[in-house]
Each structure stands twice: as structure tokens, then as C-alpha cells.
Chains A and B, each alone.
Chain A
Amino acid sequence: MHQLSTAVFGPGFFTSPQVHVAASIGAIVAVVSAVTGVFTVMRGQSFAGHALGDVSAAGGSGALLLGLTPLPGFVGAGIAGAGVMDMIGVQRLRGRDLATGIVLGAAIGLSALFLYLGATSGSATGATQQILFGSIFTIPPGTVAAVAILGALALACIGAVARPLLLATLSPDIAAARGAPVRLVGLLFMLALAVSVALSALAIGAILSTALLIGPAAAALRVTTTVPRALVTACLTGVAATWLGILLSYDSYYWGAGHQALPVSFFIVAIIFVTYLATGLPGARAARRRAPATTAAAAADQDGIAA
């Protein structure tokens, strides 16, 4: 038994403080991303969710340039980006992806500039990798509290607007007819999305935050029949993928003679991707045909637009 346990869990896995921090932050980020992601996928805003990741990266590299930690940069830039996208009108269907794309392009341009300035000023070494791919094992323990608070805020925001948001997503005309503040609710959602993406950018990098946002949510929506069940399934899937990814990355240090670990983000994304593909298998999809809530989501998923 002891032999098996040391084979599966690398030496010192349960006692390592970095693993504790990684697992805590990973779990918080996974839950926040999963909940936000379910609504993102239902609203067909996967591109915006991904774009906000790159916008966060611009903020992160800007923050490093100023000598700060990346997190305030991630969050600040994300919120600013979400605001600009909303202003240009990403909520309306026509030309929505163009507006997202332009904001994204401008943000990436800024990233290029900040990273270049950082490299030439000699300050942030390894900045590119850290910003873009995350460094979950090197997050200072004090960050856990900040991540938890911001995560709770994002979840609270979504919880507050969940009902009008669902209505606006599934039946925008009825929502408008009932006088639901569709525009405001959409903006609040975008802000929560920005915070969620910023947090996961910290954990697995700006580029890969999309995986935690979209993957578990999309997989859950494919196999569950109601929104609450999708939310729970997405959270469980996200946390499982994150913890398994942390474990595998930790273990990979001991594989082979190289003593070089594979990045956590790689494992997390790979697990999520495979899980999503698995939900496409014939047996898994049977559950989808029944419920109205996720049927609309499936239709949105198919056409890539908000239902």
C-alpha cells in the first residue's frame, strides 16, 4: 500500500507548502471559472472569455513593468477590457466577434510593448513565460487570501444576476418584454468574467485560462440536463482536472533522469480537452436530449451564438 502511494504521489507531495498553495488557489480558480464558464458557454461568449485572458496578460506585463505583482494588473486590465468590449457592443450579435477581436488585437499589441520594455530594461526575466503560462508553484502564499476574496466577489456578482442573466440568455425578447435590465446584467456578467479570467491567469497563465473557463462548463452542459446540475458538474470536473494536473506535474519531475517537470498548465489543459472529447462519445450525449435549459445551450453551442 505504501509502495503504491509513493508511486502515485511523488515524494513530499502532501507536505510541500507549494503544493498546498497550488491546490488551494487551483481549487478556487477552478470553481470560479466553472461557474462563470457555464454562463459564458450558454451565452456563446467563448471568444470574449478567451480575449479577456489576453487582455489580462497585457495588464500583467504592465504590472511587472511597474514593479508590481501580476495580479492587480490582471484584474485591472481585465475589468477595463470588459468595459471597453461592452461599450463597443459585444452584447449585440452583429459584429460582436469583430469588436472582441479588435480589443484583443490592441491588448496583444500592448503586451508586446510592455514585455519588450520589460526585457530591455532588464527587470522582469522569465516574464513572458510567467505571464502567458502561469507559475502556480511559485505563487506567494499570501496571494491565496486575495484570490479567495476576489473569487468570492465574482461568484457573488454572478449569483446576484443569475436569474435575469439566464432569462436574458435563453429568451432575450421575453427578458426585454419583462423589463429586465438586459444591458446592465450583461455588463455585470462581463465584469465577473473579467475577474474570473484574471484569477485563472494567475494560476495557469493568461493564455490557458480559457481552458478552465470553457472546458469543464462545456463538458458539463453536454452531459447534464439542468443548469444547476451543469454548475455542480462543471465545478467538480474543473477541480478534479486541476488537482490531477498539479499531481501529475509534481510527479513528472521524477520521471526519467532529466529532473525536469512538465508544466501544470499542460496537464490541466490536456485533461480538460480529453474530458470534453469524451463527452462527445455516443453514450455520454444521451442525457442532453431532454431538458429545455440545456437544449437551448446546445443550440447556442452549435451555432456559436447566444440562444
Chain B
Amino acid sequence: MFAGFMINAWVTATIVAVVAGVVGYFVVLRGEAFPAHAIPKGAFAGAAGAALLGISTLIGLAVFSLLGALAIGTLGRRGRNDVVTALTLVMMLALGAAFLSRTTQYEPEIYSLLFGEILGVSASQILPITVLAAVCLAAVAAFYRPLTLTSVVPEIAEARGIRGRRVEIAFLIVLALATTMTVPVTGALLIFSLMIGPPAAARSLTSRPGLAMILSVAIALVTVWAAIAASYLYNWPVGFFVGALAALSYGTGRAWAAWRRTRARALSGRDSQLIAQATGRAG
């Protein structure tokens, strides 16, 4: 599975996992799972339109994901707004449906845009994907502090003069960029699984931000690699394994957190018993 034609897939998947792990950390922190789902899905419509016009699908993805990000950011009031996200999403999808009806594209095209086609990534796409990834990561690094502040303590951030709306729009744009580079690999419908499952698991394991981000990337890498390997071996779609493994990592994270809580309660129960014994009082 490491033959020449698979190298592209491995390289791209690694880049995708790193970006998904980092950006996904903030998606989970900010509770923005819906936009993380909506923007890639809407971008699919752009890719369909681009294919119709004979342009690179990457450009179609970029344009529509940015449009989606801006629509959600500006139409929504005070940060996230589920209704606007939902309607923006379906409007872009409806456009995609209209585009698709105009073409005689074969089904596999739609399928691979939606669910990803790991073997479809050509060597020529690796450079733009890497550049976009670098831009995403640089952007996150650049406004890491305002981003974290507005995510965790929005009122304090406002008091310090950080405009929550601007940070929100900027973050959505980063999400749009991340989308553009990842859709060819995992497909429009599943990239967000990578942005939710691994980071959520990471946050269940630790509350320290730096460590959580590293864990998030690590879990995302494992998820994507395992998905590609499994897809190669069993011929089932990569997306299926991504969705399943993301759910697995999320579930494991929650189980771990629940186990730690029970253990902490048991321990504190034992501690209070010991203290009671030591002080001679009934436990």
C-alpha cells in the first residue's frame, strides 16, 4: 500500500490530519460543530459548479467555502447562529443540486466530492494543499490569543477590546481554507468528523491547551492513517472508516473521562474515610 500511486494519498492525508487536529481543537472549544459541518458541505456545491465550468474543483471549493463562511459570520448575530448556518448550508447545496442537474456528470463525480476519493489526489494538487495548510496554521498561530480568549471567556475578551465578531469571521475563514484543502481527500461530508472526534477525545484526556492540541493532531493522524490503510485493504470507502474511527475516539474519550470521574469520587470517598479515622470521628 506504499506503492508510488499511494504516496500522494499518504502525504496529503498527513497534512489534512495536522490541519484538522489544530483547527478542530478550536471548533470543539468554540462549540462550532455545525459550521464545521456546514462549510465543507456547502463547498461541495462550489466544486460541482467548478466542474461544470471546467475549472479546477479546488477553486470552486475555495470560493464557496469562503462565501459560506462570510454568510454565516455576517448574517448570524452575536457569534454563532444555528438557523443562519442551516439556511446558508442548504442554499449552497441547492445551488449544487442545480449545477449537477445541468451536467451529464457521472455519479462517481458527485460521490467522490461528497465522500472523498483518496486515490484521486494528483501530485499537482499537493503543492496548493500544502500552501493552504501552511496559511491555515499560520493564521491560527497569529491570532491564537484572541481566538482562545473569545472562545473561553468571551465577556473578558470584549472588555479587553477584542471584537468577538471579527475573530469569529476570521476563524470561519480559516475553517473555509481548511475545508478547501481537505475535501479532495476525505470528501465534503466527512472532514468535520476529523475536526470533531479527535479534538473532543483529546480534550477528554487533558485540559491543558497545548497538550490537547498535540493530542488532537496525534489522534487525527492515527485516524486518517488507519482509515486509508483499511480502505486500501478492504476497498470500502475511506469516509466510512473516518466516521467510524472518529466516533470511536470520541466514545473512548468520554468513557475515559467518565471513568476518571468515578475514580476521583471513589478516591475522595476513601480519603475522607482515612481522615475520619485519623481524627477519630465516624466516616
Contact = CB atoms under 8 A, between A and B. Distances in A.
Given A112-B189, A211-B90, A211-B94, A262 B85 contact: no
Contact of B100 (A104, A119, A129, A218): A129
B89 A50 contact: yes
B197 interface: yes
Contacts of A128: 107, 110-111, 114
A265 B190 contact: no
A101 B33 contact: yes
Interface residues of A, number: 60
Given A106-B243, A207-B93, A115 B111 contact: yes
Given A113-B236, A128-B107, A273 B34 contact: no
B160 interface: no
A263 interface: yes
Contact of A208 (B34, B93, B197, B237): B93
A266 B111 CA distance: 19
Nearest to B237: A112
A116 B237 contact: yes
Contacts of B239: 108-109, 112
B101 interface: yes
Contacts of A262: 98, 101
B247 A106 contact: yes
B86 A119 contact: no
B37 A101 contact: yes
Contacts of A86: none
A100 interface: yes
A193 to B, nearest CB: 13
Contacts of B155: none
B86 A49 contact: yes
A102 B197 contact: yes
Interface string B180-208: 00000001011011001100100000000
Contacts of A207: 41, 90, 93
Given A109-B240, A113-B240, A100 B33 contact: yes
A44 interface: yes
Contacts of A50: 34, 37, 86, 89
A270 interface: yes
> Secondary structure at chain B's binding surface: helix, strand, loop or mixed?
helix
Contact of B87 (A100, A111, A113, A272): A272
B196 A210 contact: no
Contacts of A115: 111, 115
A106 B75 CA distance: 30
Interface string A41-68: 1001111011000100000000000000
B212 interface: no
Interface in B79-96: 79-83, 85-87, 89-91, 93-95
B43 interface: no
A101 B91 contact: no
B190 A112 contact: yes
A273 B85 contact: no
B237 to A, nearest CB: 4
A102 B111 contact: no
Contacts of A97: 31-34
B107 A210 contact: no
A214 interface: yes
Interface in A89-114: 95, 97-98, 100-113
A276 interface: yes
Contacts of B189: 54, 108, 111-112
Contacts of A129: 100, 107, 110
B217 interface: no
A304 B37 CA distance: 16
B33 A98 contact: yes
A218 B108 CA distance: 36
B176 to A, nearest CB: 18
Nearest to A98: B200
B241 interface: yes
Contact of A266 (B94, B108, B240): B94
Q: Which 8 A-B pairs have the closest CB atoms?
A: A109-B243, A105-B193, A269-B94, A46-B82, A101-B33, A112-B239, A211-B90, A97-B33
24 contacts: A47-B33, A49-B86, A50-B86, A98-B28, A98-B196, A101-B34, A105-B197, A106-B246, A107-B243, A108-B193, A112-B114, A112-B190, A115-B111, A119-B107, A208-B94, A210-B89, A218-B87, A261-B101, A266-B98, A269-B90, A272-B87, A273-B91, A276-B87, A304-B79
Interface of B: 28, 31-34, 36-37, 41, 75, 77-83, 85-87, 89-91, 93-95, 97-98, 100-102, 107-108, 110-111, 114-115, 187, 189-190, 192-193, 196-197, 200, 236-237, 239-244, 246-247, 250-251
